[in-house]
Amino acid sequence: MEMRLQEVDFYYGSRVVLDHVDLSIDPGRTTVIVGASGSGKSILLKVLAGLLPPHRGRVLWDGKNIFDLSQDEEVRYRKRSSFVFQDAALWSNRTIRQNVEFPLQVHFPELSVQQREEKVRYYLDKVAYQDSIEYRPEQISAGERKMVSLARALVTRPKTLFMDSPLTDIDATSVEGIKSIIKKLHSERRTIIACFVDPEFISLMADDLIVLHRGRVLAHGPFHQVKKSSDPLVRGVLAMVLNEVTAYDDDILDLLNSEEQLL
Amino acid sequence: MAIQGAQQMLKNIGCRYLDLFSEFRYAAGFFYRSIVAVSQYFYRPQIGHRVITMQLLFTGVEALALLALIALALGAVIIIQGMSVLPQFGQGSLIYRILIMVITRELGPLLCAFVVIARSATAVSTELGHMVVSHQIEAYVATGVDPVRYLAAPRFIGITLSMLILNVYFNLFGLAGSYLLTRLFQPIHFTEYFHNLLIFLRTTDIVSTLLKSFVFGLIISHTAVYNGLKVQQSSTEVPQRVIKAVVQGFSLCILADAVITMIYYL
Amino acid sequence: MKLKIKYAEQIVGLFVLFSVIALALVLILMGINQRWFEKNYHFYSIFPSGEGLSRGMTVKLKGFTIGAVDSIRLTEKNTVRVDFHIYETYYDRVKPNSVLQLLQSPLGLGGGGLRFHPGDNDEAPVAEESFIPSTDFPEGRQLLEQGLVRGEESDDPVAAALANIDPLMLSAQELLESLNRTVRTLEDNLTGRERGLLYDTLEQSRASLWELEKTLASTGKVTENLAEITGRLADTEDLLRSLVGEQGSLGLLLYDEELYRRIVGILTELEQTSAELSGFGAYVNAQQPTITGLLKEGEATLIEGRDVLSGLKNNPLIRGGIPPAEAPTGTLRGVRPEE
């Protein structure tokens, strides 16, 4: 599924969060959005995923504006995509089992209760969730919630996955398990659009890189190409995110830091 | 300098009214979407039946005790007061008119609305506000579930249906229950009381009271859901929005009550 | 709480079901009590004014609701047409010569209504959509006055008391006026300003006296004649004899004892009547100022009384002071239980 953003603006009140964003994402590739905190990564991800309507511009999935789709069309698209939220965003009025089961109920109503139950257990095992599945989200730890939210995203076997910092809040032992799941998805050539903070994992996973700075896309392209960019701002962001500091970049880093403070 | 100040003031006023107008337009659009979602709800298979059931349980069943108490007290007070005064003027039969006017036509729907606003509108706004803050609404969108259809519509139906049913119960307790309560103090003949009540009760009274509770139900659910979903980012917005839901609910209900009563007497 | 959630469906089901049943039951009972399923017979009437009339106003007979007003409208002749219906149960009461009367509660608190007076006959009920006259027009009033209608008394004690005040006032005033008239007639008769029965009697007496005087005058002439004749008697014994003789005219007068006694009787009677009349006249003359004063005083008192009652009638606030027919028993009376 090809995704395009055309002239997208997004504001929070008078603050510009996304400024004339224009990009397209190729299917079957893992695209990582990088930028300093507050640069608009999460918003960009949500606008791309069609969760937040932009104040200007269009979000196209296979050439169609995601916000103009009919109910049935939207459901079809949603069946093929999933979103992992930074704060897990589990439905607090449902148990863990119900949380994972719900997308199945929506998209696969033909499945029997038993089949659904099996799938739920399979994916919860896969993310190494070990507590009772009848707990409510507030009864488990933040790390476990993150795992459950990953299971909820994977349960429908989506072709496109949006991940907003999926590895934060998770303890070290679980991180490896989740990393391996993402690696597997990557190897299956699913479209992944994600924000990661782990520099090593970005280097390992990213096919494409989007460099975001104060709501503007500074660079977008294959990872190695962007990494070689001569734009000082791009280099500065990458230096910060990927811990690749060069003597040349020192001034830029100062510049960026002062700009961050201004934000 | 003074001119600039005046210009700035005019600009501020203009901006305020434009904001107000755009908010009103947005709210009206949301109301329209909710109504469409509600109408779709009945002929499209949905997973939200349980939400309606729970909404009826929380808004309807759980408010019953409080409303019954209010209705009983109100009805008994009207009967006792009316009986001590009206027969002196030879106008004893006015008591039925007053009972029907106060309990059925006016205070019944309004008091139900107040109780539902206080108990359920606040709960719905808070719940939805927290869902927005913790991105649960976005999670629904991401799953392909329209939050208006899945969250707003069942609450609309649940609250409106609860209002209608609670109003029926309020009338039962206010007209029939208060009779039993009054019997403890003063003897009234059973058949005479109910016969007269049924003679004085008009279909227009019933239509008016049901129409009122239906409209109040729509108003309450709309203000509650709208304000709940209007929360944007922070949890501090939640109580502010809840207060707005309550204030808007109260004022719109009273306004609608006045309008419907005026139409009734036109 | 857990239990409530577990059985949420059942609880909510009961909650909804019971309210629906209750509503349906109330509607059915309303239908039965308000005769939704019975046929209504429609009639109309004409009133001079729409004042006090309203849609839905009940039509009552002996305190029982037997129908209601459907609509009121102003006709082209500026009268008010009232369409009303009578329940099937009471249709047989709508006999020919029935009339409709508008009652208005003097308190202005409602309670007024249309009262139906059925015609006093055993004929078949009138056809539907017929005209039923109202007592506000001569047609209806005539039916009432001619006794073709079974009348009834008001059952509202206050309204009845107030309704009785007007006739009372009227009759009191009539009494006063007639008394006043009598006194004036008497006075006029006595002063001779007007000719009444008493005047006639007096006149007649005067006429009788005048005639008597005339008779006496002619009797004088007779006596003169008699003297002349007596003078002449010296000359003519024959003439004397013919005159004084038993068969002579004078002789008839002088020797007929009967005739003489009659004349004397008449004279005595006349004297007595004259004396009595003069006594009565003197008495009446003496008493006249006292009677006039007395009647004037009575009239003033009654006028004052009327003013007080009118004030009472016009002020609904003081009306609470009028004691009800019976002390309130706590029973809510209004409509009869077994209509």
Give the pLDDT of residue B45: 59
Among the listed residues C103, C102, C111, C128, the one whose alpha carbon sits nearest the alpha carbon of residue C47: C102
Give the pLDDT of residue C327: 47
The answer to whether the beta carbons of residues B102 and B111 sit under 8 Å apart is: no
Ranges of residues in chain B with a pLDDT under 70 are 1, 44-48
CA torsion sign, B73 to B77 to B83 to B89? negative
Which secondary structure element, helix H or strand E, spans residue C320, and what is its range? none
The answer to whether the beta carbons of residues B64 and C15 sit under 8 Å apart is: yes
Residues in A closer than 8 angstroms to B142, CB to CB, are: 49, 51, 78, 81-83, 162
d(CA C198, CA C185): 10
pLDDT digits (tens, 9 = 90+) for A20-35: 999 999 899 999 999 8
Cβ of residue B237 closer than 8 Å to a chain A Cβ: no
Q: Under an 8 A CB cutoff, do B143 and A106 touch?
A: yes
* Residue pairs spanning A and B at CB distance below 8 A: 55
Give chain A's count of helices (H) and strands (E): 10, 10
Cβ of residue B92 closer than 8 Å to a chain C Cβ: yes
Q: Under an 8 A CB cutoff, do C27 and B172 touch?
A: no
Q: Under an 8 A CB cutoff, do B90 and C337 touch?
A: no
Tokens of C146: 């001619």
Q: Is the ipTM of this complex over 0.85?
A: yes
Task: Please determine, for residue C127, whether its predicted confidence score (pLDDT) is greater than 80.
Answer: yes
By Cβ distance, the residue of B83, B90, B93 closest to C158 is B90
Of residues C49 and A210, more confidence is placed in A210
Whole-Å CA distances, B197 to A93, B53, B194, B200, C21: 46, 33, 5, 5, 18
Selected residue of C12, C18, C336 to mutate for chain B interface (largest B Cβ count, 10 A): C12
Give the pLDDT of residue B110: 95
Q: Under an 8 A CB cutoff, do B142 and A51 touch?
A: yes
DSSP string for residues in A19-88: EEEEEEE-TT-EEEEEE-TTSSHHHHHHHHTTSS--SEEEEEETTEEGGG--HHHHHHHHHTEEEE-TT-
The answer to whether the beta carbons of residues B213 and B256 sit under 8 Å apart is: no
Find the mean pLDDT for residues C300-312.
74
Residues in A closer than 8 angstroms to B144, CB to CB, are: 74-75, 77-79, 103, 106-107
Which secondary structure element, helix H or strand E, spans residue A152, and what is its range? helix A142-154
Q: Under an 8 A CB cutoff, do B139 and A74 touch?
A: no
Tokens of C249: 């005219």
Per-domain boundaries in chain B: 48-265
Q: Under an 8 A CB cutoff, do B89 and C30 touch?
A: no
Task: Please provide the average confidence, as pLDDT, over all residues in chain C.
Answer: 74
Cβ of residue B187 closer than 8 Å to a chain C Cβ: yes
Give the pLDDT of residue C337: 43
A219 forms beta bridges with: A211
Whole-Å CA distances, C174 to B15, C145, C181, C300: 82, 21, 10, 14
The answer to whether the beta carbons of residues B143 and A106 sit under 8 Å apart is: yes
Give the pLDDT of residue A97: 94
- Minimal Cα–Cα distance from A87 to chain B, Å? 7
Find the mean pLDDT for residues C135-145.
79
Find the mean pLDDT for residues C16-32.
92
Task: Please provide the average confidence, as pLDDT, over all residues in chain A.
Answer: 87
Per-domain boundaries in chain A: 3-80+160-262, 90-157
Length of chain B: 266
Confidence bin at C155 (pLDDT 50/70/90):
very low
DSSP structural state of residue A247: G
Cβ of residue A80 closer than 8 Å to a chain B Cβ: no
Selected residue of B143, B146, B148, B151 to mutate for chain A interface (largest A Cβ count, 10 A): B143
Cβ of residue A158 closer than 8 Å to a chain B Cβ: no
Residues in A closer than 8 angstroms to B136, CB to CB, are: 89-92
Q: Under an 8 A CB cutoff, do B134 and A74 touch?
A: no
Confidence bin at C328 (pLDDT 50/70/90):
very low
Residues in B closer than 8 angstroms to C334, CB to CB, are: 92-96, 196
Whether B contacts A, i.e. 3 or more CB pairs less than 8 A apart, is yes
Residues in B closer than 8 angstroms to C330, CB to CB, are: 83, 186-188
% of chain C exceeding 70 in pLDDT: 70
Selected residue of B135, B148, B149, B151 to mutate for chain A interface (largest A Cβ count, 10 A): B135
Residues in B closer than 8 angstroms to A77, CB to CB, are: 144
SS3 state of residue A163: strand
DSSP string for residues in C148-159: -B-------HHH
d(CA A151, CA A123): 5
Name the least confident of A209-223, C83-97, C156-170, C306-320.
C156-170
Cβ of residue C209 closer than 8 Å to a chain B Cβ: no
Tokens of B198: 């049924």
Residues in B closer than 8 angstroms to C22, CB to CB, are: 168-169, 172
Among the listed residues A91, A100, A175, A102, the one whose alpha carbon sits nearest the alpha carbon of residue A138: A91
Contacts with B, A 100-119, CB within 8 Å: 102-103, 105-107, 109
Residues in C closer than 8 angstroms to B169, CB to CB, are: 19, 22
The domain defined by A3-80+160-262 carries CATH number 3.40.50.300: yes
Of residues C239 and A44, more confidence is placed in A44
CA torsion sign, A172 to A173 to A177 to A178? negative
Whole-Å CA distances, C325 to A70, B86, B103, C161, C190: 77, 15, 32, 10, 52
pLDDT digits (tens, 9 = 90+) for C201-230: 667 777 777 877 777 777 777 777 777 766
Residues in B closer than 8 angstroms to A83, CB to CB, are: 138-139, 142
Tokens of A174: 């679980």
Cβ of residue A136 closer than 8 Å to a chain B Cβ: no
Among the listed residues B61, B71, B116, the one whose alpha carbon sits nearest the alpha carbon of residue C14: B61
By Cβ distance, the residue of C15, C19, C324 closest to B90 is C324
Of residues C297 and B260, more confidence is placed in B260
Confidence bin at C330 (pLDDT 50/70/90):
very low
Q: Which residue has the tokens 């403890």?
A: B184
CA B95 to chain centre: 27
Give the pLDDT of residue C161: 55
Cβ of residue A90 closer than 8 Å to a chain B Cβ: yes
Find the mean pLDDT for residues A62-83.
89
Among the listed residues A59, A56, A73, A70, the one whose alpha carbon sits nearest the alpha carbon of residue A19: A56
Cβ of residue B47 closer than 8 Å to a chain A Cβ: yes
Q: Under an 8 A CB cutoff, do C110 and B89 touch?
A: no
Residues in B closer than 8 angstroms to A103, CB to CB, are: 143-144
Q: Under an 8 A CB cutoff, do A75 and B47 touch?
A: no
Give the pLDDT of residue C231: 66
Confidence bin at A251 (pLDDT 50/70/90):
low
Find the mean pLDDT for residues A97-118.
93
pLDDT digits (tens, 9 = 90+) for C26-82: 999 888 887 777 888 899 998 888 888 888 888 888 888 888 888 889 988 888 999
Cβ of residue C27 closer than 8 Å to a chain B Cβ: yes
Contacts of B92 (CB under 8 A, 6+ apart): B83, B86, C332, C333, C334
By Cβ distance, the residue of C22, C23, C334 closest to B92 is C334
By Cβ distance, the residue of A46, A50, A103 closest to B143 is A103
C189 forms beta bridges with: none
Pairing type for strands A191-195 and A208-213 reads: unpaired
Strand ranges inside chain C, DSSP E? 40-47, 58-61, 64-74, 80-87, 99-103, 113-117
Cβ of residue B49 closer than 8 Å to a chain A Cβ: no
Cβ of residue A187 closer than 8 Å to a chain B Cβ: no
For residue B167, the chain C residue with the least C-alpha distance is C19
Query: What's the predicted TM-score (pTM) here?
Result: 0.68
For residue C31, the chain B residue with the least C-alpha distance is B198
Per-domain boundaries in chain C: 40-152, 172-321
- Minimal Cα–Cα distance from A238 to chain B, Å? 29
pLDDT digits (tens, 9 = 90+) for A151-180: 999 999 999 999 998 888 788 878 888 888
By Cβ distance, the residue of B95, B168, B198 closest to C332 is B95
Cβ of residue B206 closer than 8 Å to a chain C Cβ: yes
Q: Which residue has the tokens 């224009």?
A: A22
